[in-house]
Amino acid sequence: MTSTIPVLWPEDIKVDVQTPLSILRVQAENLGRLTRGVLQGEVESEEGDVYFQHRLVVVAPAYGGYRHTILVALHKFHMPYPCEVRSESLSYEGEIGIGFPSAVSEEQLIRLVRKALTSDETKAAMSSLIANSISQQSKQ
């Protein structure tokens, strides 16, 4: 009898899904290496009664420790997905104001984070922080 009932689960269920926090931590850890230490990445997490937010913060140590939140991942406390990704380049005008997209899987989240980090807005912010840091270092 059971053999006639099809398996309805999708074939592409992954068994090694990473959390938004893990994905952001990897980006933070690699920022220092990619900018030869001029910029550093940090992930700051805050919890509410329903939501968790993880912020990817770019820090410019030579520029007075300036801190710029470049991306925010927001999800429910016990459910890492769906995860809303807030970044300037991902914002859109929704029916009730500014909205941001959500990812329901690791792949979607990686796609959104990549889009945000390679956007012109992020590049401009990073270029500014690097330029200001170098300018500050040359003054000292």
Partner 1 sequence: MTSFLFWNVMGKDLRPLIAEAVRIHDVDILMLAESSVSDKELAASLISITGQPFEAISDARDKVRVFSRLPKNLWIRRQTDHLSARMVIWSLNIGPGILVAVTHFLSKKNVNEGEQSMLAVELAKEISRVEDAVGYQRTVRVGDLNMNPFDAGVTGAQSLHAVMTKRLAARMERQVQGSAYRFFYNPMWGLFGDRTDGPPGTFYKRSPGVIELFWHMLDQVLLRPTLMDSLAELRVLDSIGNAPLLTEGAAIPNVSIASDHLPIFFRLELE
Residues that bind partner 1 (CB under 8 A): 44, 46-51, 53, 55, 64-69, 71-72, 74, 86-88, 97
Quote the least distance from Cβ 50 to partner 1, whole Å.
6
Residue 49 or residue 95: which is nearer to partner 1 going by CB? 49
Phi and psi at 94, nearest 5°, equal -95, -175
Residue 106 or residue 116: which is nearer to partner 1 going by CB? 116
CB atoms within 10 A of CB 76: 13
Q: 117: closest CA among 109, 2, 95?
A: 109
Q: How far apart (Å, rounded) are the C-alpha atoms in residues 119 and 90?
A: 9
Quote the least distance from Cβ 46 to partner 1, whole Å.
4
Quote the least distance from Cβ 57 to partner 1, whole Å.
8
Beta bridge partners of 79: 76
Quote the least distance from Cβ 11 to partner 1, whole Å.
36
Residue 63 or residue 106: which is nearer to partner 1 going by CB? 63
Phi and psi at 27, nearest 5°, equal -65, -40
